[in-house]
Amino acid sequence: IPHLSSFSLGPGAGQDVGRSCILVSIAGKNVMLDCGMHMGYNDDRRFPDFSYITQNGRLTDFLDCVIISHFHLDHCGALPYFSEMVGYDGPIYMTHPTKAICPILLEDYRKITVDKKGETNFFTSQMIKDCMKKVVAVHLHQTVQVDEELEIKAYYAGHVLGAAMFQIKVGCESVVYTGDYNMTPDRHLGAAWIDKCRPDLLISESTYATTIRDSKRCRERDFLKKVHETVERGGKVLIPVFALGRAQELCILLETFWERMNLKAPIYFSTGLTEKANHYYKLFITWTNQKIRKTFVQRNMFEFKHIKAFDRAYADNPGPMVVFATPGMLHAGQSLQIFRKWAGNEKNMVIMPGYCVQGTVGHKILSGQRKLEMEGRQILEVKMQVEYMSFSAHADAKGIMQLIRQAEPRNVLLVHGEAKKMEFLKQKIEQEFHVNCYMPANGETTTIFTNPCIPVDISLGLLKRETAIGLLPDAKKPKLMHGTLIMKDNSFRLVSPEQALKELGLAEHQLRFTCRVHIQDPRKEHETGLRVYNHLKAILKDYSVQHLPDGSITVESILIQATAHSEDQGTKVLLVSWTYQDEELGSYLTSLLKKGLPQSTA
Amino acid sequence: RISQQQHEDLSAKKLRLAKPSKSAALHVDLCKAASPADALQHLLHFARRPVEAESVEGVVRILLEHYYKENDASVRLKIASLLGLLSKTAGFSPDCIMDDAINTLQNEKSHQVLAQLLDTLLVIGTKLTENPPVRMRLVEVACKHLTDSSHGVRNKCLQLIGCLGPVEKGVAKEAESQSAKDVQKIIGDHFSDQDPRVRTAAIKAMLQLHERGLKLHQAIYCQACKLLADDYEQVRSAAVQLIWVLSQLYPESIVPIPSSNEEIRLVDDAFGKICHMVSDGSWVVRVQAAKLLGSMQQVSSHFLEQTLDKKLMSDLRRKRTAHERAKELYSSGEFSSGRKWGDDAPKEEIDTGAVNLIESGACGAFVHGLEDEMYEVRIAAVEALCMLAQSSPSFAEKCLDFLVDMFNDEIEEVRLQSIHTMRKISNNITLREDQLDTVLAVLEDSSRDIREALHELLCCTNVSTKEGIHLALVELLKNLTKYPTDRESIWKCLKFLGSRHPTLVLPLVPELLSTHPFFDTPEPDMDDPAYIAVLVLIFNAAKSCPTMPALFSDHTFRHYAYLRDSLSHLVPPLRLPGRKLVSSPVSPSITPNEDPCQQFLHQSLERVYNLQHLDPQGVQELLEFTIRDLQRLGELQSELAGMADFTATYLQCQLLLIKALQEKLWNVAAPLYLKQNALASAAAKQILEETYKMEFMYSGVEGRQVVIIHHMRLQAKALQLIVTARTTRGAEPLFGMCEKFLQEVDSFQRCFISELPHMQGSFVDKLLDLMPRLVTSKPSEVVKILQTTLRQSTFLHLPLPEQLHRATATIIEPTGESDNPLRFTSGLVVALDVDATLEHVQDPQGTVKVQVLYPDGQAQLIHPKPADFRNPGPGRHRLITQVYLSHTAWTEPCQIEVRLLLAYNSNRSKAAKIPKSTWSDSMEALPPSENGIEGTIPFSKPVKVYIMPKPARR
């Protein structure tokens, strides 16, 4: 029975890097994956359109669970809005670190939008708290039973602390959602890993669908060398970062380098968010990479020896220093303040560790602008060195392919990327793995057909009896078995025919096939019988062929009788009769006999 | 009851065949056992004691008897395992019990017991490998049970076939021609078993067959390739090994590439497949794959080079790797500005069809391996890289960038490994400037291991430009100011750097010496280590560059003379034009290639040995001078230090002996001169000590030297005996001493019988002549004879071995300079980090100990763990350990002394040393005890550490 399972793509994501929100229907269960927001919009478009999910009726009734892959706002930013303002009371699943860090980010985001920009009709602090109460935290590789049929399991994804890939399974149908992941380890996190779970569908991000990246080491080395040289010269280094993720990676990188090289220049990171986040990194040491986990016994790597909290007054201190300051694009706040102070000195350096949106100071200086117009018609001349270093924690094209190879899915669906780039990757995936690949647009629904396997209980007796026939069971080849399938009370059972009869209270009927084969043979009946017997005996060496005293022949349980034709004495009629169970042998025998007997050599 | 009685009778009969006690006791125990648990207890108890080879058979029979009666599977299991254990007994041939063991298999229903029985058969089989029919029979039994439904049984069967299967084809045919079983086929069939454990066992069995010398069929290759995609990591891991084995067996065979008409060599195909496994999901497999790659040297070069290639792209456009960019910048003569954003902007468009994202080939295998999450994989990849690079110079050139990158790995072990690797392949490569830059940046590393490894690397690196040399020098000097303890290592490094690149150093000389064509520059400080470093570089370069000395200024020559004298191992002799040659004038008679120092050493020894007939006064003086000369020579010529010290010590012993025998004491009535005999007995004691030093502190001491040393020791003991005889009253104690001494002479004769002919006229030679007389005479007579022989004997020529080095140790940490006492609560312990370098110590794990001397005279001896010793280079070791100190409370901080000791054991032969097993033990005094069995030699300067145990607060 072909079974239909549809995976529909929900209100967000698709061919867009912005907000992630995917709706999956699998074997009657509805799961929402991620609940992200778009940072680029300030109006309604910022949140996914949840009316898409269900026009009438409550979301809680429709959705079985919500899964959040990691704490970036484009994956969890709309969560309080969704649960508190739109209204959802079902379970929300995320990993422990995500659960810990997510509210900090949400609160920070809320402060910026409400307190600074003065927007109303936004979720409140209380709403964030209420929302977090609905969250169920999961461990890596822990199978969580959402309800009787639906189960989910988290796998390590790298990317940021606590990022996870989720396997969603109903019966024998399963989907894996990767969220954002990273296949190459970095200084503080390991690489994503998944077992050969062979899901029906793999939903993968594809931010870098057309990129194969160079080794990370060169970039790290360049970064360290630049910082080192500047510090040795007595210059100051400013690294604008966002509070979480890259900031910690760079901190670890510099910390270990300072330790290794015995450097003395101070390193600072801006207080507030980063400090709080570092606290969680310290706690969730098991989620970090091998090196940090191994050295943890001696020392927690996140308890920085060389990196101290920054104070505004330090910016004017003489001598070299390195400062991590937020935000990352130099558009406001502390990083911009420090930048203005230091920009005039050519000994100093600013390192942009990520992409900058157009219009920000970061973008301007990266594109080579040396004179910046600041507020109040001030002209700021940038004499300090400007460097660009890309540290991205997404899987590149090779990484995506590697994950597909590991998981061996039957279908792949690409999200979170640009359409043109995804097209290339889709083609590659289909070509290399011979699986279907989909790349739905925003709001588009993709339906995937699966061949679900239906588990059937079999009695041990029957299994043993059937496996005893023939050779060893071979794992790779399907095996033919005889039995009776009973479908009763929503369960399937395979039992022996006798037991089925007994259970159903039916009497056994025997089904016999009879077939007549005409043979030209002028001899007597019993002689013909003897000839047939000899013939069969010669051919069927492995079977027991017997000649009974009444002239009939048995091959196993098949009966053959030779009689003379009533009209034509030269033709003998062979009556072949077999039971339904011996159908195979019976039909073989008839076809054998139809070919005629060999000319007697006697 | 009756049956039990019968059994007892039966066993009584058997007791005549075997040794009684045990088997009988066991039998009784087992019969009495009320429950299976009880029986199991008896068996467990029985298994703890060994059984003699003669009684094994009897025991086995009893066990088998119970086996058949036993209903409980766990007891049968234990019996089965005991059978295996018993058949292992040395001196027992298990063929007599084989039939019984096989018979037990017949009716066994429990899978576990079956598996255990097969294991027992395996043990029996391995003991009877010389017996092909037995093996054949066992293999057949195993084949029969291969159809068992339990994985454990199949597992064991395969193991058995692997270990015992016929390896020689001919023999197999003869013995079992009818079934003509091909073990490979049988095992191969189980490659597709449903249980992963059985699949693994099958592959392992196949590997076992290979190890035993069976040539595997090439057909297995296809099967093995399929196993690479198995779901289970242990299967994949084993399959990778099998593929590797096959690739070594049939490197040149041709295999088709699936889905195309092309064909490639098998070794290339296998290489590609193993490369593919470097990005496997399981790190165990990745380590395995990365390791094996290193040993696939027959692979074609273009496949090999692919492993370092990872085609980069960005938005579908080809991008150059940072390595390529660096290379280009270098060749265009520009330094990387690194300032532009988009410096790495992608260039040409890529044909989308041509990009292969998951390649079947070797593409980028090492790139992945070196970037792996687990450092085990990275280390394996670095090792493989090293092995491949050693065999292929072009690959070495290519992998350089990647190795250099590994210098910045987050794990020190990986960094160290990659530095060592680089050193190993350094004769194949020349470093580019940008690479050198990265390499040199590591010099600032705070780990001494890393820096030293890097110095070693720089010693054998080829640099292409003079800027490179300059850069290296500048960085090394930086290193020197940051870590002054690296001085020696840096100087050594510059020595080699200079001698390897004379022409590159030449143009740098004026700058380095800051000479000016017109002006006199101030004379640099001669004690500045940095200046010495520069001079070492220049002088070594000047050795093969005769034009260089022309650039030197006056003071440089003076400094040369000074350095040549004080750091002669770093500064080579130079021929300086127009100057008085500083190196000793070369006399025509000496062959030019012989070192004058060596010559001097031999000459002075010659002189001493010729002078044995002069009057004692003259001999003493000559000896004293020679000893002084030798000691000075040792200080000057580090490579001869071992030799010079060794001979000096020997002469010193001789001198002491002569002096002791000159004592007036011998002419006067004994008891009156107690004072003088102090000198003689002290001399005897010192000689003993010195001989131990000679024997155990030098590496390279050969048998001939050992004889002389032992001979000297014998003389010292004789001296001791004489002194005691003169100073003690009564013959009682003397009696024992004489006895002992004669025993020692006897054992000396036995040990060194082959050397005796070389010892004409020596003490022992004369002594042995007198032996019959000595044995029978009284102690007083013995002493008299000894005294005269000792005086008359000539002193022996000490032949010198080729290489002789004295074990030395330097404690780097603690430095002993700290004024801050180490405070701790008395009664508790405090850990003191000890870091020391050891040179020329053989078997440091067994011999080196740390001694801590407390101010109250208490001494503590600590035996460091074997893992605390590292071996950074031949003949060198580094000890990094923690010493735990503890003491009762003091009122003032006080200094303790820490030093290293070399433990020796005079009983052990040079070849087989038995290290002491105790971790630490306390000893009061150092000098070897009178019987001289064990002792220690201090071989490092003591370091003082300030400590302050405080009383515990209540």
Q: Per-residue pLDDT tens for B169-181?
A: 554 444 444 444 6
| Radius of gyration, alpha carbons of chain B | 37
Residue-by-residue DSSP string for B119-160:
HHHHHHHHHTTT-HHHHHHHHHHHHHHTT-S-HHHHHHHHHH
B898 close to B890: Cβ distance less than 8 angstroms: no
- Mean pLDDT for chain A overall: 83
Checking if the pLDDT of B759 tops 80, the result is: no
- State the pLDDT at residue A139: 94
B867-898: pLDDT as tens digits: 888 777 677 888 888 888 888 888 888 888 89
Number of H helices, E strands in chain A: 17, 30
pLDDT confidence tier of residue B3, bands split at 50, 70 and 90: very low
Distance from CA of A7 to the nearest CA of B (A): 27
- Compute the average pLDDT of residues A323-327: 85
Checking if the pLDDT of A256 tops 90, the result is: no
- Compute the average pLDDT of residues B776-789: 79
B444 has a chain A CB within 8 A of its CB: yes
Rounded Cα distance between B265 and B251, Å, is 7
Q: Which range among A515-524, B481-490, B660-669, B675-684 has the greatest average pLDDT?
A: B481-490
| DSSP 8-state assignment for residue B84 | H
A36 close to A28: Cβ distance less than 8 angstroms: no
Q: What percent of chain B has pLDDT over 90?
A: 7
Residue-by-residue DSSP string for A517-536:
EEEE--S-HHHHHHHHHHHH
Of residues A317, A338, A323, the one with CA closest to residue A247: A323
> Nearest 5°: phi and psi at B289?
-65, -45
B112 has a chain A CB within 8 A of its CB: no
Checking if the pLDDT of B929 tops 60, the result is: no
pLDDT confidence tier of residue B350, bands split at 50, 70 and 90: low
B95-108: pLDDT as tens digits: 777 888 888 888 88
- State the pLDDT at residue A515: 86
A161-174: pLDDT as tens digits: 899 999 999 888 89
- The fold for domain B22-167+181-260 equals Leucine-rich Repeat Variant (1.25.10)
- State the pLDDT at residue A277: 79
> Residues of B with CB below 8 A from A398's CB?
310, 357-358, 364
Residue A308: strand, helix, or coil = strand
Alpha helices (H) along B375-482:
375-391, 393-406, 412-424, 433-441, 448-459, 466-482
Domain ranges of chain A: 6-212+393-437, 216-388, 456-504, 512-595
- State the pLDDT at residue B83: 86
Checking if the pLDDT of B588 tops 80, the result is: no
- State the pLDDT at residue B631: 84
Torsion over CA: B767, B769, B771, B776 (sign): negative
Distance from CA of B590 to the nearest CA of A (A): 51
A175 close to A409: Cβ distance less than 8 angstroms: no
- Compute the average pLDDT of residues A585-597: 82
Q: Which range among A269-283, A454-468, B551-565 has the greatest average pLDDT?
A: B551-565
Of residues B258, B259, B294, B256, the one with CA closest to residue B275: B294
A66 close to A132: Cβ distance less than 8 angstroms: no
Exposed, middle or buried, B892 (CB in 10 Å: 0-12/13-18/19+)?
A: exposed
- Between positions 36 and 95 of B, the ones with CB within 8 A of A are none
Distance from CA of A84 to the nearest CA of B (A): 40
Of residues B611, B604, B601, B603, the one with CA closest to residue B795: B611
Cβ-Cβ contacts under 8 Å between A and B: the total is 122
Q: Which residue has the higher pLDDT, B924 or A41?
A: A41
Are B370 and A386 a contacting pair at CB < 8 A? no
Distance from CA of B446 to the nearest CA of A (A): 5
CA dist A282 → A155, B298, B824, B841 (Å): 21, 49, 30, 44
pLDDT confidence tier of residue B729, bands split at 50, 70 and 90: low
B381 close to B372: Cβ distance less than 8 angstroms: yes
Q: Which range among A256-265, A295-304, A564-573 has the greatest average pLDDT?
A: A256-265
Checking if the pLDDT of B15 tops 50, the result is: no
Q: Which residues of B484-519 are buried (b: 16+ CB within 10 A; e: fewer)?
A: eebebbbbbbbbbbbbbbbebbbebbeebbebeeee
Checking if the pLDDT of A259 tops 70, the result is: yes
pLDDT confidence tier of residue B586, bands split at 50, 70 and 90: very low
> Residues of A with CB below 8 A from B322's CB?
214-215, 218-219, 222
pLDDT confidence tier of residue B609, bands split at 50, 70 and 90: confident
Are B321 and A386 a contacting pair at CB < 8 A? no
- Closest chain B residue by Cα to residue A364: B341
Secondary-structure class of domain B807-908+931-950 per CATH: mainly beta
A186 close to A289: Cβ distance less than 8 angstroms: yes
Are A262 and B406 a contacting pair at CB < 8 A? no
B553-569: pLDDT as tens digits: 888 888 888 888 888 77
Nearest to B371 among A216, A222, A225 (CB): A216
> Residues of A with CB below 8 A from B410's CB?
187, 256, 291
Checking if the pLDDT of B932 tops 60, the result is: no
Cis peptide before B814 (omega within 30 of 0): yes
| DSSP 8-state assignment for residue A328 | T
pLDDT confidence tier of residue B954, bands split at 50, 70 and 90: low
Q: Which residue has the higher pLDDT, B556 or B320?
A: B556
Alpha helices (H) along A192-312:
216-233, 246-261, 273-283, 290-295
- State the pLDDT at residue B668: 56
B298 has a chain A CB within 8 A of its CB: no
- Between positions 208 and 227 of B, the ones with CB within 8 A of A are none
> Residues of B with CB below 8 A from A402's CB?
279, 358
Distance from CA of B443 to the nearest CA of A (A): 8
> Residues of B with CB below 8 A from A225's CB?
441
Mutate to test the interface with B, among A159, A188, A195, A210 (most CBs of B within 10 A): A210
Residue A391 identity (one-letter amino acid): F
Instruction: Match domain A216-388 to its CATH number in 3.10.20.30, 3.40.50.10890, 3.40.640.10, 3.40.50.620.
Output: 3.40.50.10890
- State the pLDDT at residue A199: 92
- Mean pLDDT for chain B overall: 78
Residue B664 tokens read as 């007036």
- State the pLDDT at residue B349: 57
Mutate to test the interface with B, among A257, A349, A398 (most CBs of B within 10 A): A398
Mutate to test the interface with A, among B143, B341, B403 (most CBs of A within 10 A): B341
Rounded Cα distance between B816 and B941, Å, is 11
- Cα–Cα–Cα angle for A542, A545, A547, nearest 5°? 165
CATH number for the domain whose boundaries are A6-212+393-437: 3.60.15.10
- Between positions 354 and 393 of B, the ones with CB within 8 A of A are 355, 357-358, 364, 367, 370-375
Checking if the pLDDT of B843 tops 90, the result is: no
> Residues of B with CB below 8 A from A191's CB?
373
Of residues B197, B199, B180, the one with CA closest to residue B188: B199
- Compute the average pLDDT of residues A526-554: 81
Sheet with B830-839: list strands edge to edge. B808-813, B830-839, B876-885, B869-873
pLDDT confidence tier of residue B635, bands split at 50, 70 and 90: confident
Rounded Cα distance between B376 and B372, Å, is 9
A12 close to A45: Cβ distance less than 8 angstroms: no
| DSSP 8-state assignment for residue B953 | P
Q: Is B752 left (phi over 0), alpha (psi -120 to 50) or beta?
A: alpha
**ipTM score for this prediction:** 0.79
Rounded Cα distance between A32 and A21, Å, is 7
Distance from CA of B374 to the nearest CA of A (A): 7
Annotated active-site positions of A, please? Answer: 205
A64-100: pLDDT as tens digits: 999 999 998 888 888 999 999 888 999 999 999 999 9
- State the pLDDT at residue B592: 46
> Nearest 5°: phi and psi at B645?
-65, -40
Place of tokens 């040369």: B560
Residue B760 tokens read as 């004409």
| Radius of gyration, alpha carbons of chain A | 36
Nearest to B405 among A215, A261, A366 (CB): A215
- Compute the average pLDDT of residues B408-436: 85
Distance from CA of A541 to the nearest CA of B (A): 21
- The fold for domain B261-312+360-425 equals Leucine-rich Repeat Variant (1.25.10)
Of residues A122, A129, A133, the one with CA closest to residue A78: A122
User: For A371-375, B203-207, B610-614, B783-787, which range has the lowest pLDDT when averaged over its residues?
Assistant: B610-614
- State the pLDDT at residue B30: 72
Rounded Cα distance between B810 and B839, Å, is 9
pLDDT confidence tier of residue B322, bands split at 50, 70 and 90: low
- State the pLDDT at residue A270: 79
Q: How do beta strands A446-450 and A3-7 pair?
A: antiparallel
> Residues of B with CB below 8 A from A292's CB?
none
Rounded Cα distance between B402 and B414, Å, is 13
Checking if the pLDDT of B325 tops 60, the result is: yes
- State the pLDDT at residue B291: 92
Helix (H) or strand (E) holding A185: none
Neighbours of B914 (CB within 10 A): 10
Are A212 and B311 a contacting pair at CB < 8 A? yes
Checking if the pLDDT of A468 tops 80, the result is: no
- Compute the average pLDDT of residues A331-343: 86
- State the pLDDT at residue A157: 92
- Compute the average pLDDT of residues B938-948: 86
In this structure, whether the domain defined by A512-595 belongs to CATH 3.30.310 is answered with: yes
Q: Which residue has the higher pLDDT, B383 or A531?
A: B383
Q: Which residue has the higher pLDDT, A255 or B609?
A: A255
Q: Is B438 left (phi over 0), alpha (psi -120 to 50) or beta?
A: alpha
User: For A172-176, B519-523, B643-647, which range has the lowest pLDDT when averaged over its residues?
Assistant: B519-523
Place of tokens 């004072």: B675
Of residues B698, B627, B639, the one with CA closest to residue B847: B698
Residue A106 identity (one-letter amino acid): L
- State the pLDDT at residue B7: 43
B157 close to B197: Cβ distance less than 8 angstroms: no
Nearest to A190 among B342, B370, B373 (CB): B373
